[in-house]
Structure formats: structure tokens, C-alpha cells
A and B are shown apart, each in its own frame.
Chain A
Amino acid sequence: MNPSQHSQRPPGCTGVSRRTFLADTGMGFTGLALGAMLFRDGVRADSEGWAPPTGKPHFAPRAKSVIWVFLCGGVSHVESFDIKTELNRYAGKSISETPYAGVLATEGKDVIGANPAHGNRKVILPLQTGFRRYGQCGLPVGDWFKNIGECADEIAVVRSLWTIHNDHGAQLTWQTGRHPRELEHPTLGAWTAYGLGTLNENLPEYVVLGTPTGDCCGGTFTYGASYLGPENGGVRLNTDPKNPLPFIQPPAGSLSAEQQASNLSLLGKLNRLAGIDYPDDANLRARIKSYELAFQMQASVPETLQLEREPEHIRRMYGLDDDATRAFGEQCLVARRLVERGVRFVQIFHGGGGGGAWDAHSEIKSNHTTLARQVDKPVAGLLKDLRQRGLLDDTLVVFGTEFGRSPGAEGSGRDHHPQAFSAWLAGGGVKGGVQYGQTDELGFHAADNRRYVTDIHATVLRQLGLDSHRLEVPGRKRLELDHGNVIQEILA
């Protein structure tokens, strides 16, 4: 549908009569065009001199939707998208014995909230996987991510990221830009839902797939909307069509769909009758609409999850034919189906719960081999599938993690490393085949074009046509760092 329809505020309440109230709300199940807009406005239009977002982009968007893949626990940057061959050359030596001893100086590079239990890994661990160059751009990619490597000309790698916390609370930082100590703040997905609203009244604007970050490290805050209100928070869906979100279906055998429809019909009548005395009640209108959306979701959500309808070759692209890749492949495929149906922001967690599965303090070789196998093919399949459908032009895919892993060894593993890490973006107006920013020769510090987490946020919002400054809510002053800076260099 045309997003500009969302730009209209509901008509002023002044002089609303009983008759127009009944006419306005009497649209039944089908007339949902005003639905999302009403339930956003109905509860928030209470501030003088301020109006909630209209749902219209602030400038021409390059992307309609975002698929935000997040790997929990901290993926090694030096063995994935920021290959550091010097680690092989100086393997077993202390960093201070190498020509790069200078990286140990922390002056001007320290990290707030460092956990003293981590860090200080000085003896260099060689690369635990091979690598090769891919595509015309010649991007070196670790062998753990061969399939994504094949898509090198589609992606822009940002190799100069840093973050502010040396423990897995940095997972929350990746979503909100804030230190985990500061608890809940709106996530990028919430800002997107808040700023743009929906393209499909039958589905939520912001959907969460996979097991989110554990309670230790942000929990529900990692997909929450904080002060933007729960209507902008991520709605968790399981990929199991039988139980995709809380209370999506009544307990088995308790209520038939026909009965629900007839209840909804009576409810609509009663709510409209009771509203006659309160014709200006925006909340009542919003509630009537939201009940109808909820009813629609009972059907639309399970329909979206019916992956058996996909042809076999598509299912294979996502690795649904393989036990190792099936779970994550299903999430990637559901993400595509959600985006196709107009969902704005799909957030996929991999390896969630606890500190995160990628947290390879020991045996990084077997850890990353196993986990990368789960995600590599499905993510590459997602990129290829979006491309062949023409969806990659207006779908932005982001592949990230909370921090990198230390160049120095922690036994057979690598420690947390917030001083440097990598993420990549693809589609949605981002240039392919780009390597942006650099770490030093050991991958210890982000060196050239250092970028903070919120610079990724700013870039995503820019592609969606949003200016985060204009989304600010009265009484909720944001810091400049929260807004971040767009990484112009990777934009087409």
C-alpha cells in the first residue's frame, strides 16, 4: 500500500458527532487502512508543539526493510572478514616482541567498563582457519565463511568497529548504542518501527527470530522499544508455525476460528455502542483497530511461517535439507517471507542465551567451525535469493556481532576484544565489494576510519530515509553519540 496514507493524522476530535463516530469506526475486518496509524497516534498525541512521526521518510529512502543478523558471543574478526596474516608470521611470540608492540599502549584507546577478568592476551595465536580472496573485489574471507565469501561483491565490510564494553553486555550496545549499564534504550528496530510504521496491517512492523541475547547481557532490552512504547518493540516469533508468539492461538480445542470471528463481531458492535457517548475517544478507535489486527495476525503469522510452500531448490539454498543449517536456514527464509510481506525490521539472533555461543575462550577452531557452518550457507542463500527476486535492492542486510576476538591466545581460544571488530552490510543501496576502514597489522585496534556501533545505526536509518534527530521524543534528549554518523563511503 501507499505509505503516504500513513501521513494523515486522524481528523480532529472537535465536534465529532455520534453519527460520524459510528461511520468512522464501522469498517469491519477489511477497512484496516488506518489501523497502524491510529494506534500509534491515539495514545501519543498528548504533547504540545510536538507530533509523532508521520510514517513518511524524511528523505528519499534506498531501502524499505532491514534484516539484522546478530551472532551472539563475539565472532573472531581476524579469521572472518579482517584476515590478519601477521598472526601466522608471529605465532607464539608475545606482541611486545613483534614490530607492532605499540598496539599495547592503551593511551587514548581505552574502553569504558572493561572487565579486568578479560584481556591482556599477549601471546599471538595463529589463524585457526585458512582464507582466500573472493570476487572481483578480492575480499579475503576466512574459510569458515566460504559461502558468504562467494557473495563478496555484494557486501561492504566495515572492519574498523569498536565498542565500549568488554563483556557480553556489548550485545545490548550493538542494538541500542548504549553501555549495558544504562539498561533499556530503544533499539534500532524500534526506531525503524516508530519512524516508518507498517507496510502490512496484518503483521507487526518489527519481528524477532531466534533465541535472543541472554538475561545476563540485555535480555528483552535487546529488542525492546524502551520509551518509544511497546507497540514499537520487536515481536518475537518462533519459526514453528504452531506457536509463533505469545497467545497467538487459544489453548487447543477451546475456541474455533468461527467462534472467534463471531466474538469479534459482537465485540465490535458492543464497543461501538459503548463509544457513542465518547465519540472523541481516540483510544477506543485504536483499540477496535488493534483487536482486528490481532485477529488478522492469528492467520497471517502462521501463513508466513509455512516454509513447506517454498520450492525444493529454494529450501536447499537456505540449507533446509541439512541438519546443521536447517534451524538458522528456516529463520533466514522466514525473514525473506516477512520482508516480502512488508515487515520493516527482522532481527535474527544466532547462538543466543547465556554469554552467546560464539564466545570461544577455548577451542576456537572447533567452536567457530561448527557455528559458522550453521550460518554461512543460510546467510549466503538469503543474499542470493533476495538478489534473484530483486528484493535486495530495497532490503538492507546487516551481519554483526558484539565485539571481536583477541589476536593473543587464551589457551586454544581467543578472548573478548572490544577494541576492534567487523560487520558487513549488503543491499538496500549499499555498495558491494567494499572494504571500509582498517585495523592495525595484528587486528588489535581499529586504526583507520574508526567507527562506533551507532555509525552502523545511522547508516541503516539513512538508507531507510530517516533522520534520527527528527525522531527524538520530548523529554528524551539523546546524545550525539546515540545518533552516530552515516558511513557515506559505503553507500552507492
Chain B
Amino acid sequence: MPSPRANSPGWMPLLCLAVLMSCLRAGAIPAHRAALDRHYDRFLAHPLAACTTCHKPSSIQAPESLDEFPHNPFGNRLRELGRDRNAAGEKPELITRLKRIAAEDSDGDGVPNEAELLLGHNPGNASDTPNRQELATLSARQSEFAKFLASYRWQPFAPVVRPAVPSADSGTAARNPIDLFLAAEWQRRGLTPRPEASREVLLRRVYVDLIGLNPSPGELHAFLADSSPDAYERVVNRLLDDPRYGERWGRHWMDVWRYSDWAGWADGGQVRDSKPHIWRWRDWIVESLNADKPYDQMIREMLAADELAPADPDALRATGFLVRNYKMLSREQWLEDTVKHTAQAFLGVTMGCAKCHDHMVDPISQREYYAFRAIFEPHQVRTDRLPGQLDTTKDGLPRAFDSTNAPTYFLVRGDERHPRTNDILSPGVPAAFGGRLEIQPVNLPASASQPDRRPFVIRDTLSASEQSVTTARSELERLRSDAKSTRAQRTEAQLALDIAEIKHAALRSILKAEAGDSGAATNAVRFQRALAVFEAELKSHQARIKLDTAATNAVAEARKKSTEADQQLAAAREAAAKPLTAAYTPRPAETFPATSTGRRTALAQWLTQTRNPLTARVAVNHVWLRHFGRGLVPTPADFGRNGRPPSHPELLDWLAAEFMQPSAAASTSTSTASGSGTASQQAWSFKTLHRLMLTSAAYRRAATPDAADLAADPDNLYLWRMNARRLEAEAVRDTLLQVADGLDLVRGGPDIDQKLALTSPRRSLYLRHAAEKQSEFLQIFDGPSVTECYVRRPSVIPQQALALGNSELAITLSRKLGTQLVEESRGDASILITRAFERILARRPTAAELQSCLEAFTPAAVSESIARTHLQHDAENLVLVLFNHNDFITVR
């Protein structure tokens, strides 16, 4: 059977479209339908979440106007009201209008509109009306609906309004407001929270969460011995101040912001994705987190540091967020990824759906998609020089900047081959999220538009030029003192030195001329002409040597070449004798626009206003996910209608409000007795947010089950216990290295070849990570996808067992740690086993565990030296066993 689509060009964007066709094309109709759906939620019968609730049924395939798809009486009434409210200068929000006509009877069938809707009948069609039995259920249904309306209505696209913190119940062991929000749900559902976790479990939990590593046995014992009431809070504060925190959370945010090293061919000869040296952005992420740079500032720098801090190379690193989307093969794909993932990372909405058609469930029109794209249309990426390295393939600063003034067209069905060239979009943001872009073009300093005129580039260029003079001079000197050198060689070297010197002189004059010295321009011309003469002399000299040594049959050809070279020399001399001008040949230097559109700055400002509904909600949810194993919104990259609703909407909103504007109330209850100066109360502070979550009773709870709670809430949606989590790939590898005392804590720097994953002692976030360049070891443990990784999905596969049991890394470290354990324990097996548990699992063994291990050890031997050999062997095997222990890879 032939498939028709096979013949239709542009099939791909078409596919998502068919479903739209049954609806009116003009206007934001899916948004209206979504509003109806949102207001009535599960009380709206499925057939009523349709166009025909407000429109008369139409047989026209894709009606283009209201004439073709007229309203029914219910729709008419809504439309009239909208017109009235518009005229009165009020917002014609659909929900308000729906409420206004709830008690009216638009179709005149004797049943009010809302009653019909609640009973699953069309309020605009008099022949579709509830029967008597249905009407009998009405009052129960209405009271349920009223209850629903009175409950907390989570509106992710409306600004955050700080909800009131529930009042404390006498029986609740609340440590801060988080616990009060959770307790409210337990009471509602009859759940009993689990007690606090053991101190060993708690300590490892907070270490892994904040720094991605185990506590040392010393730290473990100190914590167990510390009976002061704020012992735990002090650990939290210490770990937040530990620079390993930035590495741990840097990797998390690298997931969300899609960090990728460059991909392509030929060792950088063809860069296809991202850019070399983008590790500087990774270092910016780590440093910013360690410095607790406010999140709003981080967003501004990532999207627009080139406009906001154009002369600050440290801040410019942040634009790696944009550079990362670079795609050599397709500007379309590059911009598509930029739009899609900027929206998804910061706003948690799937704007990508609106590329080909209006979003089907969220209020984003296709036009708004292209308006959002217009924000990024002018931007490009480049690699700036850094002090000490003129060759940007060796080192440099990849960064974003505005350069093109390409228009953004509306692409019909998202197909780049069908732009509507008379329909150019201005930059904008979806209206449903509120606010608008305030765009101001930015004048850039000369250091940004003419980066090669920056003093350090001039210095480096001069010193490279000086270096070639020195090299030429020492070559000449070498030949002079070399008895075997020929005169021809020495002449050639002398000429090379002359050329280097005159080049250097020309460069100096050019630089002066650039700085405005007009006399220097004439000098530059003089030197450049002299340079041409010297270069022609060198060629003439070389041609003559060739002629002198040519074989008989090649003499004619060599003579011809020599004559030509002499003629060129004469021409150069003649040119040099002409009157001087100021028209020197400028040095090769790139120039970029002196203004930037300001579009991305405007976007960053819009995103970081406290009335932006999504930025803070999405960020706190990402942090929550990584502390509690599940987001309050389980779909961290989709806060729209296709995502899942939050388990605790009020808590999420409260955390978002708290993140943007910390309240005194929350801080007094969290920093009980720590007295730490680090408990800052700045807005958008991740460290404050971590502290708030980690010092809640919820975070400190045990992960052990309870039969009654399990029956009532098997997925632990309401957090009556802590969720157990598996270590991420990087934490597995880093902790293996750490427990055997083999982790190199040097921070930052160029990406390390991923093939060295089994031998490099550096933390895993420094290993190269790009399409087709990923460490096999890390990927076996579900390392991040390069394409997108808003949430890690841990697996349990046999390859993991092979990696932890057989890899060179595991075996080498087991030997190393085995030796250390034998020494530390002075040959005492029980001590050895205890230490092994403490180092690898960060806890002491139980008596039964100790016994099982002892039984596996070789029985006492005749001589001490044999016993020691056995013990070393047993220790290595015990280490391997514990590397494979579920408690190593699991955080309880």
C-alpha cells in the first residue's frame, strides 16, 4: 500500500499538525480550550474539552473564520461578555467569564450552563440536556466542584503568591515551614512520618548530596561523638562552604544547562557541535556556585554577559550556555535547540512544540515561538583570545555576541523551506507568562568590538614578533659559528633576520598608527615596502642558488625562474622608491559590531523579575529533586499541562517565594544554633535554599518502610519517609577514588580525555563529555545524555556489576585500599573489616555483617608472614565486595 506521506515534502513538521485541523485556525483557540479545561479540570467530561462546546458543529475541514465555524449560544454569550469587558478596559479572562455565566441558561433548555457542564452536557446545545436521573446527582457534583474550587489552585503560569504557612500541630516535630506543609498532607491522608535516620545514614546522605563524596572515618567518628544540638547544622554549613560543593552541584546544573564539550572531527579541524575550550563555562558554573552567586545574576550572565559585562572575560565565560548550542551543519537546528532548551531549562515549558503549530495544551502560539526565537536570531559565537596565547585553537574564550541582522520569519508549519517573508517577527515572550521585554540596544566598548586592539593582544603580538627576531638572530649566529655552514646559508639567514626585524618595525608602526599617530602610518608604509624588497631579495637569492646547483637538463628552467625573481626584486625596489603614502596594509584583525541588540539582556531581565511565574518555581524544583529523589513537580522540564502536577503545590510556591525574597521567619527557624556567618539571607541564593531543605525534619527522616504508610502511599508521594537514591555515575567513580585515597582534588581546567576515566585521579565532571565522547564507565552508570538531561534515570544492569567488579579502576583501587587497611588495622581482621565498612559505606558493620565477613576470611595460618599475605588478599576481596555492595551505590 503506498503511503501518501512519502510523497509530501516536509512531512516531519506536518505530523503534529493534523490534530489542529478540526479547530478554528485563527486566534489562540487551543488556549481558550485549555482555559476551559483548566477551570473545570477533572469535572469537565472529555467530549466537552472540545471546540464544539462553544461552536456549532462544522463540516469544514479547517475553518478559517467565524463565518465558517460560528459560535453556539453559549459561545456567543462568552464572546459578548469578552467584548463588553474589553470595552470597559478589563481583562477578558475566560475563567472570569465562565464564572459570570455559570448560572445562566444560554441554550434555553432549562438547565443552567455550569450544571450542564458538570453533568457532561453541552450548554450551547438545547437538544443536549441532562435527564432526570442525571439531574438528581447534580447537587453532590456541585458541592464536590465547590470543594475543588476552594482548594489551593496551583497556577504555574501566574506569578508566585506566597502561601500562608500551615499552623503547627502540637504533635508535629517540625523543624521549619517545609515540615508544616508536609504535615498538612499527612494529616489529610492518615500517614505517620518515619523517625529521624540514624546519624551514620544522615551523615552520608548529606555528604553525598552536597559534595558527592563520603565522609572520612574521622569525620564520621567526630559527628557520632558530637552531642551538641546543632552538630548536624554545622556539618551542613561546613559542606556548603566546601569547594567540592561547587563541583557536585556544578555537575547537576551542567545537566540542566546541557553542558557539552565540542564534538566533530579531526582533533578540532572540524568542530560540529559546541566549541573547544567551553570548559571555561564549566569552571564559571563551579565558581559561581561556590561563591553563591545569586541565581538571577547567573541567568543574566549566561544569557547576556556579552551585553552586561562585555569587558569582563570571567563573566563572558557564562555565555557558554549559548555557545553550547552551536551546530556547524545547521543554523536552524542551532536556533531551535537554543529556543527549546532555554525555555525548558529556565521556564520548564515545552516551547519546542510551538515551532510547527500553536502549542496544543499550553498557552504558547506559533507566532510567540518565532518572537522568542527573534531574541536569539542576531547572536553568533566566536572564540576570543586570552593573554599568553594568540592561537585560539590552543586556548581561548568561546562566547556569544550579536552580529547578524537576519530577520526572523514565521515558518509555515515550522518548515525552514517555507518562510513567510512578508511576516517578520519582533522579539517577544509568550503573553500568558505576563510581562514584556524591555529592549534597549547596548553600546559595546572597543575591547569587545575590536578585541585584537586590547592591550594584551598587542603585547602578545609584539612579543611573538620579537621572538621571531630573536629566533632568526640566533639561527644566524649558529650558522656563523658553524664551520660547516656555507656562505649561501649564511646569506639566507641574514636575509631572514632582516625580514623579521623589518616586520617587527612595521608592526610597531602599525600599532602606533592604530593608536592615532599619523606619522607612524607613513613609517609603516616605508617598512612594509622595505619588507617587500627584502622578501624579493630572499627569493632572488634562493633562485640563484638553485640555478648554480641545477643539473644540466634543468638549467634552462632554473635560469628562467632566477630571471623572474630578479625582475620581481627590481619591481619591489622601484615600488619602494615611490613617494610615501599613509596607506599601510593593516594587520589581520577581526572587527565586530559596536552595538548589541539588547534582546538577550531583556530576556534575562524578564526571566529574573520576581513576577515571572516560572523561573523560581522551576529552579527550586530542580534542587528539591536532587535532595529528595523526586521533584515536587515530577516533570522538572515540563510545568505545563503535559507535565504532572505538584504533589505539594503550596510548598513549591512557598519555596519559590522564599527563594526570591527570603523571609525572616524561615531563617530563624533554620539557623537554630549554628551561629554560622554563612547563613546569608540574600535573594536567589542556592546555599540558603539548600540549607532550608537540608535542615528540615523531612530531609532527616529515615528511609525505612512502614506497612500502613506503604499501603496508603506506596510511592511515598507525601514524603512520610526519605527516598533512597542511587549514586549518579560521577559520584560512583569519584567515591571509588576517594575511599582509596586516590582522588586528586585539583579544580578546573581543560577537559580530560574521556578515555582516561579508568586511570585519571581527577573528579568525573572534568572528563570530556560530548556526543560520541563519553566515558564508557560513566555511561554504564547512566551518565548524562548530551542531548538533554533534566533528570537522571538510574538503571540496574549487569554491566554495572562487571564495571565495579572487574574494571582496572576497581581492581587497582581494591589493592591500594587493601594495603592501607592491612596497615591501619595492624593485622586485626575485625578492625580491618570495620575500617573497610567505614571508608566504603561510611558506616560501621553490624555484628552479623562483621561475622559474615570474618567467616569469609582465611582461617588463621601457621606463620605470621603467611597470615599477612592471606590478610592482604582477604582485604582486597572485601574491598571489591563492598564496592559492589548495594549500600555503596545507594544513598539511604
Measured between beta carbons, the chain A residues less than 8 angstroms from B333 are: 181
Q: How far is the CA of A260 from the CA of B16 in the complex (A)?
A: 53
Question: A204 CA to B798 CA in the complex, in Å?
Answer: 9
Whether the pair A480, B15 counts as a contact (CB closer than 8 A) is yes
Interface presence of B3 (CB below 8 A)? yes
Residues of chain A lying within 8 A (CB to CB) of residue B265: 216
**Which of B714, B795, B806, B856 is close to A249, meaning CB atoms less than 8 Å apart?**
B806
Instruction: Provide the bound-state CA to CA distance between A220 and B773, in Å.
Output: 10
B714, B853, B856, B892: the one within 8 Å of A262 (CB): B856
Picked from B785, B799, B852, B889, the residue with its CB within 8 Å of the CB of A266 is: B852
Verify B801–A295 contact, CB threshold 8 A.
Answer: yes
B492 interfacial by beta-carbon distance below 8 Å:
no
Q: Does the CB pair B852–A270 fall under 8 Å?
A: yes
Looking at chain A, what size class is its interface with the partner chain?
A: 35 or more
Asked if A311 is an interface residue, CB under 8 A from chain B, the answer is no
| Contact of B704 with A481 in the complex, beta carbons under 8 Å | no
Q: Contact size class for B?
A: 35 or more
Please report the C-alpha to C-alpha distance between residue A245 and residue B635 in the assembled complex, in whole angstroms: 35
Among B4-12, B301-309, B399-407, the one that faces the other chain is B4-12
Check: A321 CB closer than 8 A to any chain B CB.
no
A267 contacts the other chain (CB 8 A)? yes
Contact with A along B789-823 (1 / 0, CB 8 A): 00001111111111101111001000000000000
Given known A43-B795, A247-B803, A283-B724, contact A450–B780 (CB-CB < 8 A): no
Q: Does B205 contact A (CB under 8 A)?
A: no
Stretch from B50-58, B470-478, B880-888 at the A interface: B880-888
A residues less than 8 Å from B807 (CB atoms): 246-247
- A117 CA to B324 CA in the complex, in Å? 27
Taking the closest CB of chain A, its distance from the CB of B330, in whole angstroms, is 7
A277 to chain B, nearest CB (A): 5
Q: What residues on A are CB-neighbors of B796 within 8 Å?
A: 39, 42-43, 231, 283, 286-287, 290
A71 to B892, CA, bound (A): 48
Q: Is the CB of B884 within 8 A of A267?
A: yes
Judging by beta carbons under 8 Å apart, are B787 and A183 in contact? yes
* Interface 9-residue window, one of A52-60, A106-114, A118-126: A106-114
Contact B852 A475 (CB under 8 A): no
Q: Please tell me which stretch of B247-255, B548-556, B685-693, B705-713 contacts chain A, meaning at least 4 of its Cβ atoms lie within 8 angstroms of it.
A: B705-713
- Please give, as numbers and ranges, the residues of chain B lying within 8 Å of A231 by CB-CB distance: 795-797
* Complex: chain B residue closest to A233, CB-CB: B797
B808 near A179: Cβ-Cβ < 8 Å: no
B703 at the interface (CB under 8 A from A): yes
Within 8 A of A (CB), among B87-145: none
Task: List residues of B (4-48) whose CB comes within 8 Å of A's CBs.
Answer: 5-12, 15-16
Query: Does any Cβ of A come within 8 Å of B776's Cβ?
Result: yes
Separation in Å of the B262 CB from the closest CB of chain A? 13
Say yes or no: is A250 at the interface (Cβ < 8 Å to chain B).
yes
Fill in one digit per residue for A225-238: 1 if any B CB lies within 8 Å of its CB, else 0. 01101110001000
Residues of chain B in range 642-692 having any CB-CB distance to chain A below 8 Å: 642
Q: Does B1 contact A (CB under 8 A)?
A: yes
Is the CB of B782 closer than 8 A to any CB of chain A?
Answer: yes
A39-B797 contact given A13-B705, A247-B806, CB 8 Å threshold: yes
User: Is A293 touching B798 in the complex (CB atoms < 8 A)?
Assistant: yes
Closest CB of chain B to A49's CB: distance in Å? Answer: 11
Within the complex, what minimum Cβ distance (angstroms) separates B431 from chain A?
Answer: 26
Q: Which residues of A contact B802 (CB under 8 A)?
A: 245-248, 294, 297-298
Give min CB distance, B613 to chain A, whole Å. 22
Q: Mark A259-295, 1 if CB is under 8 A from B, else 0.
A: 1101101110111011101111101101110110111
Please name the residue on chain B nearest to A109 by beta carbon: B7
Q: Write the nearest CB–CB distance from B836 to chain A, whole angstroms.
A: 11
Q: Which of B2, B705, B803, B808 contacts A278 (CB 8 A)?
A: B705
Given contacts A235-B799, A262-B856, contact A278 B703 (CB under 8 A): yes
| Least distance between A53 CB and chain B CB atoms (Å) | 16
Give the residues in chain B near A287, CB-CB below 8 Å: 796, 886, 889
Count of A-B contacts with CB under 8 A? 195
Q: What separation, in Å, do the CA atoms of A281 and B886 have in the docked complex?
A: 11
Chain A window 436-450, contacts with chain B (Cβ cutoff 8 Å), 1 for yes, 0 for no: 000000000010111
- Considering only CB atoms, which chain B residue lies closest to A446 in the complex? B6
Pairwise interchain contact B2-A448, C-beta atoms closer than 8 A? yes
B residues within 8 A CB of A230? Answer: 779-780, 782, 795, 797, 799
Alpha-carbon distance between A278 and B890 when the two chains are bound, in angstroms = 12
Does residue A349 face the partner (Cβ distance < 8 Å to B)?
A: no
Within the complex, the shortest CB–CB distance from B435 to chain A, in Å, comes to 29
Flag A340-374 by CB within 8 Å of B: 1 or 0 each: 00000000000000000000000000000000000
Residues on B with C-beta less than 8 A from A43 are: 793-796
A480 CB contacts on chain B under 8 angstroms: 15
Contact with A450, one of B7, B787, B806 (Cβ below 8 angstroms) = B7
- Interface residue? A492 (CB, 8 A): no
Asked whether A410 is an interface residue with its Cβ less than 8 Å from the other chain, the reply is: no
Bound: A16/B704 CA distance, A:
12
Query: Does A97 touch B at the CB level, under 8 Å?
Result: no
CA distance A383 to B613 in the complex (A): 62
Given contacts A255-B811, A475-B635, contact A481 B885 (CB under 8 A): no
Q: Which residue of A lies closest to B848 (CB)?
A: A273
Contact A284–B776 (Cβ < 8 Å): no
B864 CB within 8 Å of chain A: no
Asked if A219 contacts B772 (CB within 8 A), the reply is yes
B846 within 8 A of A: yes
Give CA–CA (A17, B800) in the complex, Å.
Answer: 28
Chain B residues, Cβ within 8 Å of A48: 715
Per a CB cutoff under 8 Å, which of B3, B705, B772, B799 touches A455?
A: B3
Q: How far is the CA of A273 from the CA of B806 in the complex (A)?
A: 24
Given contact pairs A283-B726, A448-B2, A14 touches B795 in the complex (Cβ within 8 A): no
Q: How far is the CB of A439 from chain B (nearest CB, A)?
A: 13
Q: Which residue of B6, B12, B635 is within 8 Å of A179 (Cβ)?
A: B12
At the interface, yes or no: A162 with Cβ under 8 Å from chain B?
yes
Q: How far is the CA of A267 from the CA of B841 in the complex (A)?
A: 13
Convert A195-224 into 0s and 1s, putting 1 for each residue whose CB lies closer than 8 angstroms to a CB of B. Answer: 000000000100000000001100110000
Is the CB of A184 closer than 8 A to any CB of chain B? yes
- Interface centre among B772, B774, B882, by most chain A C-beta atoms within 10 angstroms, is B772
Chain B residue at minimum C-beta to C-beta distance from A36: B798
B168 to chain A, nearest CB (A): 30
| Chain A residues positioned under 8 Å from B808 (CB to CB) | 251
| Interface residue ranges of A403-449 to B (CB < 8 Å) | 446, 448-449
Bound-complex Cα distance A281 to B889 (A)? 14
What separation, in Å, do the CA atoms of A227 and B637 have in the docked complex?
A: 15
B710 with A15: CB separation less than 8 A: yes
A46 to B710, CA, bound (A): 14
**In the complex the two chains form, is A279's CB within 8 Å of B803's CB?**
no
By the criterion CB–CB under 8 Å, are A246 and B848 in contact? Answer: no
Find A250's partner among B811, B853, B887 (CB 8 Å cutoff).
Answer: B811
Most chain A CB atoms below 10 A, which of B1, B714, B724:
B1
A144 in the interface (beta carbon within 8 A): no
Task: Tell yes or no: A254 within 8 A of B by CB.
Answer: yes
Q: How far, in angstroms, from A274 to B837 measured CA to CA in the complex?
A: 12
Q: Which chain B residues lie closer than 8 Å to A220 at the CB level?
A: 772, 774
What 13 new A-B contacts, CB under 8 Å, besides A293-B801, A297-B798? Answer: A39-B796, A39-B797, A179-B12, A246-B799, A246-B802, A247-B806, A266-B852, A278-B724, A280-B705, A281-B724, A294-B799, A298-B802, A446-B6
A-to-B contact residues, CB < 8 Å: 12-16, 39, 42-43, 46, 48, 108-110, 112, 162, 164, 179, 181, 183-184, 204, 215-216, 219-220, 226-227, 229-231, 235, 245-251, 254-255, 259-260, 262-263, 265-267, 269-271, 273-275, 277-281, 283-284, 286-288, 290-291, 293-295, 297-298, 446, 448-452, 455, 475, 479-481, 485, 488
| Smallest CB-CB A-B distances: 9 pairs | A294-B801, A294-B798, A215-B772, A247-B802, A247-B806, A250-B806, A286-B796, A450-B6, A291-B801
What are 12 A-to-B residue pairs whose CB atoms are below 8 Å? A13-B710, A43-B795, A108-B7, A112-B11, A215-B772, A229-B793, A246-B799, A263-B880, A283-B724, A291-B884, A297-B798, A481-B15
